[in-house]
Amino acid sequence: MSIKRRSFCSALILASRASAARQAIGAAAAPRRRFSLDYGWRFLAADEEAAQSPAFDAGKWRVVDLPHDWSIEGRRDPASPMGGAGGFFPAGVGWYRKSFRAPAGWRGKRVTVEFEGVYMNATVYLNGQELGTHPYGYTTFFYELTPHLNFGDNNLLAVRVDQSKQPNSRWYSGSGIYRHVWLDVTEALHVARWGVFARTARLSAERARVVLSVRVVNESGAGRAVKLRSRLYSPGGAQAALAETSGALGPGESADFELEMAVAQPAIWSPESPQLY
């Protein structure tokens, strides 16, 4: 039985002041909110000193949306250091800058940025503070923004991409932020990123047993009570199973919580009948 992670595990963390916190950022708020940062970046295909500073004037830089690849926009040159594997396109260094507002209601929450892919050697800054460098080009990475955010005000995210060391690939890689960028906002008590794992422990035509492992993180300064509730939905959209568990986490602690769900007469996946829960 194949099961979509997002379909069966909607983990709700119920803690003190949760209702008030949700109201602070609007009625549509959820335990984890995700915002696209794909639009309205300023870009320059060159290296500029202090371009990470909020005081730097990037008003003449080009506006681009993501995903973006500056190499494919350039002119082919037989002398290009990318060589034939890179299609003789230009590489070099490029800068991206993006302004966004962090509502005052985000105080007390955890805010992270996720880059699905940047080629390559991406150094990320928030409001002039260096967050780190990801030295690869094909993997997702993320940084915690919370300590450096200006709540209730504008913030500047800047990324320096260094594609100058050539050749570095056996095929065309492109240059720049070539996948999506996301801003994630959670409570201090939250399900960890990629923290849900599911397996079908037992399966027959009469019954299935599904086991979930959910990692919960408490990044607050106080102990917190935790309650997890997971629902499994059938291919037709009806609730097929429900599981709950509870516990507690001290300040700065994380733990894996296990939940089990039983499904009567499961619709078993096969190539001929690809049922998804």
Say how many domains are in the chain.
2
Q: Are residues 86 and 118 in the same domain?
A: yes
What range defines the domain where residue 226 resides? 5-18+189-264
How far apart are alpha carbons 116 and 244 in whole angstroms?
Answer: 32
The tally of CA atoms less than 13 A away on the side-chain side of residue 105 is 14
Residues 6 or more apart whose Cβ sits within 8 Å of residue 246: 225, 226, 227, 228
Instruction: Evaluate the CA torsion angle 174, 68, 6, 186 in order and state its sign.
Output: positive
Mean pLDDT to the nearest integer, 62-85: 95
Q: Are residues 222 and 166 in the same domain?
A: no
Asked if residue 277 is part of any domain, the answer here is: no
Pick from 159, 186, 213: which residue ends a domain?
186
pLDDT in tens, 127-152: 999 999 999 999 999 999 999 999 99
Q: How far is CA 148 from CA 56, 107, 126, 197, in A?
A: 18, 12, 7, 31
How far apart are alpha carbons 125 and 209 in whole angstroms?
Answer: 46
C-alpha radius of gyration, the chain, whole number: 23
Q: Are residues 37 and 154 in the same domain?
A: yes
Share of the chain above pLDDT 70, in %: 89
Under the banding of pLDDT at 50, 70 and 90, the label for residue 117 is very high
Share of the chain above pLDDT 90, in %: 88
Q: Are residues 116 and 251 in the same domain?
A: no
Asked if residue 272 is part of any domain, the answer here is: no
The DSSP H or E segment spanning 98 is strand 92-102
Q: Are residues 82 and 197 in the same domain?
A: no
Task: Count other C-beta atoms under 10 Å from residue 5's C-beta.
Answer: 11
Q: Are residues 130 and 41 in the same domain?
A: yes
Task: Count other C-beta atoms under 10 Å from residue 43's C-beta.
Answer: 22
Under the banding of pLDDT at 50, 70 and 90, the label for residue 31 is confident
Q: Are residues 243 and 195 in the same domain?
A: yes
Asked if residue 276 is part of any domain, the answer here is: no
Under the banding of pLDDT at 50, 70 and 90, the label for residue 157 is very high
Mean pLDDT in the chain? 90
Asked if residue 161 is part of any domain, the answer here is: yes
Q: Are residues 129 and 246 in the same domain?
A: no
Residue 255 belongs to domain with CATH number: 2.60.40.10
Q: Are residues 224 and 182 in the same domain?
A: no
Task: Indicate the SS3 state at residue 26.
Answer: coil
Residue 130 belongs to domain with CATH number: 2.60.120.260
Q: How far is CA 260 from CA 50, 199, 209, 263, in A?
A: 53, 10, 7, 10
